[in-house]
Amino acid sequence: MSTTAPRLGIVTGLASEARLIAASGAGSSRRITVVCAGADSARAVQLAEDLVAGGATALLSFGIAGALHPALDVGDLVLAESIRSPSGQDHPCHDGWHRSLYARLNESASVLRSGAIYGSTETLLTVAQKSQAHAASACLAVDMESHAVAAVAARAGLPFLALRAIADTAGDALPALAARAVTAEGKADWQAAVSGLARRPGDLPSMLRLAGRTRRALASLKAASRNVEGLFGGFG
């Protein structure tokens, strides 16, 4: 029986996200495997393919995101209806899974939005970049893993869903250091941080602000992940 039980593969960008969702999964009857892509789209593809090869029967993208829609605030949750790839291809999420989780989260989440998420292979640092991405895609938010995982799920014919929490708003400009502050394991790259701040000490306040907002986003994800049946079981 254990060989046929549904197995959920979860891809995150940060190690903190992976720890959070793995802890929630420990309380679920579902079998889950969590991997961290280190905010690297190409690595997310490889890890998602490994999950499928290992027997995953559904894929979930889970973590923080940047807002593209100006109405979204830090900590707001975005449950994807579809994912727009950098090339413009749309990948729909699993309808039943989406509806089940949305109904559960809508009872408890302070702000929950449903819509499209845009996939990018690089961090959108400027307000202009975010504005251009929103105008071109009409997506609510952007991250670097969901489009990669969605494409793998589509090729494998597996259910897919993405749940993201906003860490930076559409009006937030990020310091350049934010694009290289994460290791391949999804942990803070302190060497890069120290080196970058030595060159641009004025970036320290914005990096501290981003760290605080990331913690708020992770708190929203932690609250959302208590809905284990909707999150881990809505795909079948």
Contacts of 3 (CB under 8 A, 6+ apart): none
Mean pLDDT of 65-74: 97
**186 is a domain residue:** no
**1 is a domain residue:** no
**128 is a domain residue:** yes
**How confident is the model at residue 207, as a pLDDT?**
80
| Position 149 confidence tier, pLDDT thresholds 50, 70, 90 | very high
Helical (H) or strand (E) element with 21: helix 15-25
**82 is a domain residue:** yes
Domain limits at 68? Answer: 7-172+217-233
For the segment 35-55, what is each residue's pLDDT rounded down to a tens digit? 999 999 999 999 999 999 999
Contacts of 221 (CB under 8 A, 6+ apart): 17, 20, 21, 62, 63, 64, 77, 163, 165
Residues 176, 205: Cα–Cα separation, whole Å:
13
**How confident is the model at residue 109, as a pLDDT?**
63
**96 is a domain residue:** yes
**191 is a domain residue:** no
Residues 141, 149: Cα–Cα separation, whole Å:
16
| Position 25 confidence tier, pLDDT thresholds 50, 70, 90 | confident
**125 is a domain residue:** yes
**167 is a domain residue:** yes
Whichever domain contains 166, its CATH number is 3.40.50.1580
**Number of domains making up the chain:** 1
**How confident is the model at residue 32, as a pLDDT?**
92
- pLDDT above 50 for 3: no
**How confident is the model at residue 208, as a pLDDT?**
86
